[in-house]
Structure formats: structure tokens, C-alpha cells
Amino acid sequence: MKQTQAIEVSNLSVAYNAQPVLWTVDLNVPQGVLMAIVGPNGAGKSTLLKAMLQLVPRVSGSVRINKRDKQHVSYVPQRGNVDWDFPITVKDVVLMGRYGHIGWIKRPTQADKTVALQALTQLELTNVADRQISELSGGQQQRVFLARALAQQAEIYFLDEPLQGVDAKTEQIVMKLLRKLRDEGKTILVVHHDVSTVARYFDWVTLLRKRVIASGPVEQVFTNEKLQETYQGQLHTASDAGCVYE
């Protein structure tokens, strides 16, 4: 049976100051997969997410997302790109995930507050709901923005390095949530830096080095040969990738 495609990327190229960052990227992402995007530094991983969401200009190409309504697509940027000194509480950040449903002018209803509380609960943040985001640890801050995305009740999630620099507890909570969303039929794209956990955490993977080296089920794509082509010596040995497939 042919899989329904959540995202279809065709001939996508991006350049910054005339320097190519991505070129002629073709990529199909099936609905209901938990996909890692991996590759060396400078491979264009974050840029790929942003280009798909039209957050950076494209030189060429097209992107088709099967849910046209913006509220069905959620984006969590890298934690370092967020102003954590902005005076706002955790629960108010999470409630922002409901604005796509209610608009920016209307006040959140009790139903919206219930959805936000459920998101806080799933990410184990209810005990810090009234604190300023600047007071939180790095792992807690990452979970706040994932809770906001969860409150949005999207169908497709774009997450840019959600596990970078977080503690083991946060990593476990985040991956449990992402697997739950996947099992509910959601599509999740994750820029991921730790190749040693790809086979354990994800069912789909895209290997990127300014172009797509390979994309597909982990057991088919996450091989020694494809990893060496992707990292070209930057991955010291195949064992650095943990579980790989021959």
C-alpha cells in the first residue's frame, strides 16, 4: 500500500550571500513517521526545516505540506534562538500554542487552558507553571517550548535540535512524547545531532550533506556506507553511530 506523503520537497535550493547551503533537495516524508535529520555541521539541517516552512528564502524548488492550515504545523526552534529574558511565565508560553485556534485578540477559554495544562502535565512542568521562563534550567526551557507545540495540537511537528544540551530526564520525557505523537499518526521531523541514538529513537532518517544522501526507514538507510558518504571522515568510525545496519 502506498504511503500518504505528509511533506513533498522538490528541487529545493537555498543560498546565503551567494553561498549554497542546500541544493536540489528532493525529499518525501510519509505521514506518521518519527524522522531524524542528521549530518555534519554545516550540512544545512536547520536550514532545511526553515526553508520548508518558508522562514528563509528559497533559490528554487517547491514544498508541499498536506495540511495547508498553519495551525496544523508546529515549529520548535533551537533553544539558543529564543529570548529567555522575556518576562513571561511558563503557562503563558504554553497558552500561546492555542492562538492559532482562537486568534491573538480573543482570550483563551477554559477549554484552551485545559489543553495547555494537559501539555504541561505530559512534559512534567506543572510544578513550574507560574515561574518566569528565565528561571528555568535548560532542559525545562526546552520542555516549555515542546509543551507549547503540543498545545497547538498540530499534525506535523518541526523540531530543531530538541535534545541538544538537555539532561537525561528531559531526553527521556521528550522521546516518550514524540513516540506517543507518532503512534497517534502525527508526523515529526527532528534535526538531531547524536548519531549514536538514531537507531534507538527514530523509525525514519534523512542523511543530509547540503543534498540528500539518503532518506527512508532507519534499517534501510542508516548503514555504514551511507554514513561514511554523509560525514566523509568527520565520523571517526562507524561505531560512533551506535547501531548501524550493514
Q: DSSP states of 144-211 as a string?
A: HHHHHHHHTT-SEEEEESTTTT--HHHHHHHHHHHHHHHHTT-EEEEE---GGGHHHH-SEEEEESSS
May I ask the CATH class of domain 1-67+156-246? alpha beta
pTM attached to this predicted model: 0.88
Q: What residue ranges do the domains of the chain occupy?
A: 1-67+156-246, 84-154
Calpha distance 227→103 (Å, rounded): 44
Closest by Cα among 57, 63, 115 to 91: 115
Q: What is the DSSP letter of 129?
A: T
Q: CB count, 10 Å around CB of 110?
A: 7
Using 70 as the pLDDT threshold, list the residues of the chain that sit under it. 1-2, 67-71, 80-81, 100-106, 235-246
pLDDT at position 71, please?
Answer: 58
**What does each C-alpha distance from 226 to 34, 94, 198, 212, 229 come to in angstroms?**
20, 39, 14, 11, 5
pLDDT at position 238, please?
Answer: 46
The neighbouring-strand residues paired with 15 are 20
Give the three cell numbers for residue 133. 521562563
